[in-house]
Amino acid sequence: EAEVAQSPRYKITEKSQAVAFWCDPISGHATLYWYRQILGQGPELLVQFQDESVVDDSQLPKDRFSAERLKGVDSTLKIQPAELGDSAMYLCASSYQRGTSGTSGSKGDTQYFGPGTRLTVL
Amino acid sequence: DQQVKQNSPSLSVQEGRISILNCDYTNSMFDYFLWYKKYPAEGPTFLISISSIKDKNEDGRFTVFLNKSAKHLSLHIVPSQPGDSAVYFCAASPTPGSARQLTFGSGTQLTVLP
């Protein structure tokens, strides 16, 4: 069964350092999402890509976070410099969905998540 | 402002009995709803979904009910098994034409006691 791959699984860093997370979505999935999940809360969207284009990055703290999906396949999320409050689980998800039209509730809408990267900032 | 709310942070159920997890939403633009299960140190796993054109969707032991007028959905697991012990997240997506982003609730920790 195809899965979303993420690495590393765990990352410990000191504040002010740079960190990067990698995600490889399910083959053929056009849409890729990065979420941040703080303990005790649900995942919150940081950025959404459709192929190589950013669809929405309104919740991405752009002073320190950046994300790219240069060839429309795998993606990298970077934090520079990391702060204590960035400690969280960073989740990548992908869906088949192409475009924003079409019947809601189709299988193409379902997002499939990777195992996540647990970031600890000391 | 939480648009998707799971008011019960935890639920304990005896093995073999029914588990009922509840979720409320406030945004009337939501029209597609999903439940995810999450084990510690893993990403959420898709469980079941329902479109707003339906009021019930069933998949094996899992059934999701949607009450649009009350803006409420619930997940029923019957019979509950110890392996079902996990955090369950309710998520909602708005109508076509938007970016189909998911808004998650804060989760309910289900514990199934043997």
DSSP conformation letters of A55-107: EE-TTS-TTTEEEE-TTSS-EEEEESS--GGG-EEEEEEEE---SS-S-TT-G
Contact check, Cβ <8 Å, A43/B46: no
* Cβ atoms of residues A41 and A35 within 8 Å: no
Q: Is the pLDDT of residue A98 over 70?
A: no
Express each pLDDT in A36-89 by its tens digit. 999 889 999 999 999 999 989 999 999 999 999 988 899 999 999 999 999 999
| Interatomic CA distance for residues B36 and B46, integer angstroms | 5
Contact check, Cβ <8 Å, B100/A40: no
Contact check, Cβ <8 Å, A111/B31: no
Q: How big is the A-B interface in CB pairs under 8 Å?
A: 81
Express each pLDDT in A104-122 by its tens digit. 445 567 889 999 999 999 9
Express each pLDDT in B84-96 by its tens digit. 999 999 999 886 5
Output the pLDDT for position A99.
Answer: 52
Strand-strand pairing, A65-68 and A53-56: unpaired
Q: Is the pLDDT of residue B97 over 50?
A: no
Mean pLDDT of A20-41: 94
Q: How confident is the model at residue B1 (pLDDT cuts 50, 70, 90)?
A: confident
Residues whose CB is less than 8 angstroms from the CB of residue A89 and which lie 6 or more positions away in sequence, other chains included: A36, A37, A38, A39, A116, A117, A118, A119
The contact set of A with B (CB < 8 A) is: 4, 6, 9, 31, 33, 40-45, 48, 55-56, 91, 93, 95, 97, 100-105, 109-116, 118
Output the pLDDT for position A101.
Answer: 47
Surface-to-core class of residue A30, CB atoms within 10 Å of its CB (0-12 exposed, 13-18 middle, 19+ buried): middle
Supply angle C-alpha A45, A110, B27, rounded to 5: 55
Is the bond preceding residue A8 a cis peptide, omega within 30 degrees?
yes
Contact check, Cβ <8 Å, B46/A45: no
Nearest one of A39, A46, A30, A56 to A79, comparing CA atoms: A46
Q: How confident is the model at residue A102 (pLDDT cuts 50, 70, 90)?
A: very low
Strand-strand pairing, A75-79 and A65-68: antiparallel
